[in-house]
Amino acid sequence: MSIIEKKGLVLSGKNGRYTVECENEIYICPSGTRVRKNDGKILAGDLVVFRDNGDGNGFITALLPRKNFLVRPPVANIDLLAMVVAPKDPMPYFYNIDLLSVIAEKNGIECAIIVSKNDLDDCAEILDIYRKTNFKVVVTSSENGLGIDEARELLSGKISVLCGASGVGKSTLLNSIYPYLNLETGSLSEKIARGKNTTRTTELFRMGDNTYLADTPGFTAVNTELYCTLDHKELCSLFPEFDAFKSDCRYADCTHTKEEECGIADAVKNGDISESRHESYKKLYFELKSIDRYK
């Protein structure tokens, strides 16, 4: 009997066995040691080649090249990082949002801001900051349905990572976008996320045709291990709204951290760049510059 090889998407993995989706069918596949040794750890979101045993099981023979991956959460081939932010309860911490956006930009991942709980308070500050970027911004309210169709369209056809601080309303938002999930509000259900103080491997959940979602814990998961691929000299390019103003700097080696004859600082004064985003840039610039990369 001839061996049939197929290409599939890894949804999850545990103890060396991977759940792989191919043509709307699910296969349980171990992986050869050679594949893991040569290609590294297989992650949710990876595309793999596997042998179809004909009984719902298979065997992974190759890991296909990735377009990107994140260390935390461990997921590959991400199309969209959607950051859920509320105007209050909890108040947004813009530096963490901007740090996540920098990591996404570094890895070629589209960023979006989903504003939740719009019915509770004015979200003008959030909009003033992020509508000056190239990020898609969607304002939602699960109470009155505002922006829910737009949020669903934003996620459609993509592998998306959804993140946000605890209490920001991710479960309520997801229930509005995908009513069949019936997630518990207040804490994410085991169906799609981590419980408090627990760890697990990342899993992709299919939400529709070519639409997958990986939920993550709150912003507390962001730490200095994510800085390892960042350098302060490249940081300006990871704030894409700065690009149009860099040529206005007098000095070619301008760090954009001081006001003297800096095109980006002038753009902040003129309201073309958000002061909040520039403050995040400066804070991260000096943090990255101070890292001892040779210890």
Q: How far is CA 24 from CA 21, 94, 146, 246, in A?
A: 6, 39, 32, 48
Domain boundary among 221, 238, 254: 221
Q: How far is CA 84 from CA 35, 116, 133, in A?
A: 36, 7, 16
Residue 213: phi and psi, rounded to 5, are -135, 135
Domain interval for residue 27? 4-63
Q: Looking at the structure, tell me whether residues 206 and 96 fall in a common domain.
A: yes
Give me the pLDDT at residue 12, please.
Answer: 92
Give me the pLDDT at residue 11, please.
Answer: 95
Counted residue by residue, the chain has a size of 295
Q: Is residue 105 part of a domain?
A: yes
β-bridge partners, 115? 85, 139
Q: Report the C-alpha gap between 64 and 39 in whole angstroms.
A: 9
Q: Looking at the structure, tell me whether residues 27 and 102 fall in a common domain.
A: no
Contact 60, 28 (CB under 8 A): no
What is the DSSP pairing of strand 159-163 with strand 80-85?
parallel
Q: Looking at the structure, tell me whether residues 144 and 179 fall in a common domain.
A: yes
Q: Looking at the structure, tell me whether residues 100 and 203 fall in a common domain.
A: yes
Q: Looking at the structure, tell me whether residues 78 and 56 fall in a common domain.
A: no
Domain CATH for 18: 2.40.50.140
Domain CATH for 191: 3.40.50.300
Give me the pLDDT at residue 37, please.
Answer: 65
Q: Is residue 178 part of a domain?
A: yes
Q: Report the C-alpha gap between 41 and 69 in whole angstroms.
A: 11
Which residues have a Cβ under 8 Å from the Cβ of 233 and sit 6 or more positions away?
none
Q: Report the C-alpha gap between 243 and 237 in whole angstroms.
A: 7
Q: Looking at the structure, tell me whether residues 9 and 96 fall in a common domain.
A: no
Domain boundary among 44, 63, 82: 63
Q: Is residue 295 part of a domain?
A: no
Give me the pLDDT at residue 1, please.
Answer: 52
Give me the pLDDT at residue 95, please.
Answer: 93
Low-confidence residues of the chain, pLDDT below 50? 186-199, 220-224
Give me the pLDDT at residue 192, please.
Answer: 45
Q: Is residue 143 part of a domain?
A: yes
Contact 126, 115 (CB under 8 A): yes
Q: Looking at the structure, tell me whether residues 92 and 124 fall in a common domain.
A: yes
CA proximity to 25, closest of 58, 64, 59, 56: 56
Q: Is residue 147 part of a domain?
A: yes
Domain CATH for 252: 1.10.40.50
Q: Looking at the structure, tell me whether residues 237 and 267 fall in a common domain.
A: yes
The string of DSSP codes covering 124-163 is HHHHHHHTTSSSEEEE-BTTTTBTHHHHHHHHTTSEEEEE
pTM of the entire predicted model: 0.86
Q: Report the C-alpha gap between 239 and 277 in whole angstroms.
A: 8
Give me the pLDDT at residue 208, please.
Answer: 87
Q: Looking at the structure, tell me whether residues 193 and 272 fall in a common domain.
A: no
Q: Is residue 198 part of a domain?
A: yes
Give me the pLDDT at residue 258, please.
Answer: 87
Domain count, the chain: 3
Q: Looking at the structure, tell me whether residues 215 and 269 fall in a common domain.
A: no
Q: Is residue 237 part of a domain?
A: yes
Q: Report the C-alpha gap between 59 and 189 in whole angstroms.
A: 31
Q: Report the C-alpha gap between 144 and 239 in whole angstroms.
A: 34
Alpha-carbon torsion 172, 174, 180, 182, what sign? Answer: negative
Give me the pLDDT at residue 278, please.
Answer: 97
> In 10 A of CB 276, how many CB atoms?
20
Q: Looking at the structure, tell me whether residues 12 and 150 fall in a common domain.
A: no
Q: Looking at the structure, tell me whether residues 96 and 201 fall in a common domain.
A: yes
The 3-state DSSP class for residue 28 equals: strand
Domain boundary among 202, 221, 240: 221
